[in-house]
Amino acid sequence: MANAISEGPENSNITEEQLKFPGLFKGIRKLKNFTVKLHIDTSVTPVANAHRRIPLHLRKATELELQHLVEMDIIEPVEGPTPWVSPVVGVTKPHNKTKIRMCR
């Protein structure tokens, strides 16, 4: 998650790269044949936050968006307990109240 975006020289190549390889910057892609190595501080205690209730008027849209994300293989259901839990918050966009975005 990005906390800040700078306008420095390191971001000036983005437009040039997008112009050179426009197909690489469209849609959602997966890295193939790549194993991610997560560097986790083992001294940190896992946190399981309580879930937040989803407002009744957003439940159907939230369910549909979660199913869409599962079908696109962006997220996957977790069976059983896990030491790290973050609640999901559904947010509607001002210009399209029927679409919902997931925040953590």
pLDDT one-digit tens code per residue, 73-97: 888 888 888 888 888 888 888 887 7
Look up the domain containing 24 and give its range. 9-103
pTM (two decimals)? 0.63
The stretches in the chain having pLDDT less than 50 are: none
CA dihedral 3, 4, 9, 14 (to 10 degrees): 60
Looking at the structure of the chain, the number of domains it has is 1
Residue 60 lies in a domain: yes
Q: What is the 3-state secondary structure (H, E, C) of 10-75?
A: HHCHHHHHHHHCHHHHCCCCCCCCCCCCCCCCCCCCCCECCCCCCCHHHHHHHHHHHHHHHHCCCC
Q: Residue 100 burial (CB < 10 Å; 0-12/13-18/19+)?
A: buried
Residue 1 lies in a domain: no
CATH number reported for the structural domain that contains residue 66 in this entry: 3.10.10
Residue 73 lies in a domain: yes
Residue 4 lies in a domain: no
Residue 70 lies in a domain: yes
Residue 2 lies in a domain: no
